[in-house]
Amino acid sequence: MIFITAKFRIKPEHAEAWPEISREFTEATRAEPGCLWFDWSRSVDDATEYVLVEAFRDDEAGAAHVGSEHFQNAGKTLPAYLVATPKIVNFTVPGQDWSELGEMAVEA
Residue 100 lies in a domain: no
Residue 98 lies in a domain: no
Q: Are strands 87-92 and 35-42 parallel, antiparallel or unpaired?
A: unpaired
pLDDT average, residue stretch 96-108: 92
Residue 34, judged by CB atoms within 10 A of its CB (0-12, 13-18, 19+), counts as middle
Residue 101 lies in a domain: no
pLDDT average, residue stretch 30-48: 98
Backbone angles phi, psi at 44, to 5 degrees: -80, -15
pLDDT, tens digit, for every residue of 42-65?
A: 999 999 999 999 999 999 999 999
pLDDT average, residue stretch 65-75: 97
Q: Is the pLDDT of residue 84 over 90?
A: yes
Residue range(s) defining the domain that contains residue 34: 2-93
DSSP 21: H
Residue 104 lies in a domain: no
| CA angle in degrees (0–180, nearest 5) for 73-71-22 | 75
Q: How far apart are CA 92 and CA 16, in angstroms?
A: 32
| Arithmetic mean of pLDDT over the chain | 97
Q: Is the pLDDT of residue 85 over 90?
A: yes
Under 8 Å between Cβ of 70 and 78: no
Lowest mean pLDDT among 51-55, 80-84, 98-102: 98-102
Q: What is the CA radius of gyration of the chain?
A: 15
Q: What CATH number is attached to the domain comprising 82?
A: 3.30.70.100
Residue 99 lies in a domain: no
Residue 108 lies in a domain: no
Q: What 3-state DSSP class applies to 2?
A: strand
The number of domains in the chain is: 1
Tally of residues, the chain: 108
Supply the pLDDT for residue 108.
82
Supply the pLDDT for residue 16.
98
Residue 53 lies in a domain: yes
Residue 55 lies in a domain: yes
